[in-house]
Amino acid sequence: MTSLASRVGGWSRERTLALQIGHNRSARGLQGVIFTRDDRAGEGKLSSRLGLVTEAVEAPEGLDLYAYLVAQLSKSGKADYVIVGEAQFLAPEQVDQLARIVDDLDVDVFAFGITTDFRTKLFPGSQRLMELADRLEQLQVEALCWCGARATHNARTVGGEMVVGGAQVVVGDVNRPAEENSYEVLLRRHHRKRMTSAAAHAGALSPDALPVNHA
């Protein structure tokens, strides 16, 4: 039975698993289509921080994913699966099109992404996936906050300082220079207090004043 499976996790983990699933199916002689959007490796790429990268179909807003796959089937006659990287960036109507691919074309769809943005708000694409997916899976490898606890929130940083304003989608990565847009995972308490790893390090370098005993 075909299904729309959504798997959520951190940026690095979900992209790595998407690439692994595509490789495993390709090695078995299966043919698939990979969609992605706004990958840090550039247009038409799906990549991971481990250095893995593959060609993909860029899916900007307005691209009808169902119509694209129908056209591909008309040309090659076969598509065994669809993989979607960075699925959080899809428009809700594109997620509806993924569901139609499953229901009308009998093709499995594996969508990978994160659920919330740096403001702890659901991405519209992620919300629609949660509403429609046959299966929702949380990736088992845990992301860790700088303190070593399990991270639950994504933070956008500039110069090591957490920012809470701006566009919902800004392409960046954990390896960007400090002065550029970068991302960091934090546990909720540190996210709420805007305590990034850089802020925590600065705090450690500024010890509290010692009490003074007056004679």
CA distances 39 to 59, 130, 160, 211, Å, are: 11, 22, 22, 52
Q: Is 86 labeled as catalytic in the residue annotation?
A: yes
C-beta of residue 33 within 8 angstroms of C-beta of residue 57: yes
Closest to 106 in 3D by CA, of 215, 3, 209, 213:
3
* 43, 58, 61, 86: the active-site residue: 86
CA distances from 111 to 4, 7, 132 (A): 7, 6, 12
- Do 69 and 105 form a contact (C-beta atoms < 8 A)? yes
Report which DSSP code applies to 38: S
What are the catalytic residues?
Answer: 86
